[in-house]
Amino acid sequence: MKFLQEVKQEAFKVSWPTGKETIQGALMVFAMAVVMSLFFLLLDQVLKYFLEILLKVSL
């Protein structure tokens, strides 16, 4: 019981983010995921292009 009471006391000490901060954080994560996916798509296409050139030259 004492442990649960201490856990409850500590939970009240935590400064939880506001709704606005939570939404901003989620939007930033989403934006970074989109940016990184576009970056890796572009990188994949460039590497594919150079690999195709390399394979054509070697044949």
Identify the pLDDT of residue 59: 64
- Output the pLDDT for position 57: 85
Phi-psi region of 45 (alpha: psi -120 to 50; beta: other; left: phi over 0): alpha
From CA 40, how far away is CA 47, in angstroms rounded? 10
pLDDT recorded at residue 22: 97
CA 57 remoteness from chain centre:
39
The span from the CA of 56 to the CA of 3, in Å, is 69
Q: Are 25 and 17 in contact (CB under 8 A)?
A: yes
14: DSSP letter: S
Digit-by-digit pLDDT tens for the chain (59 residues) are 899 999 999 988 998 899 999 999 999 999 999 999 999 999 999 999 999 999 998 76
Element (H, E) at 33: helix 19-58
Task: Give the predicted TM-score (pTM) of the model.
Answer: 0.67
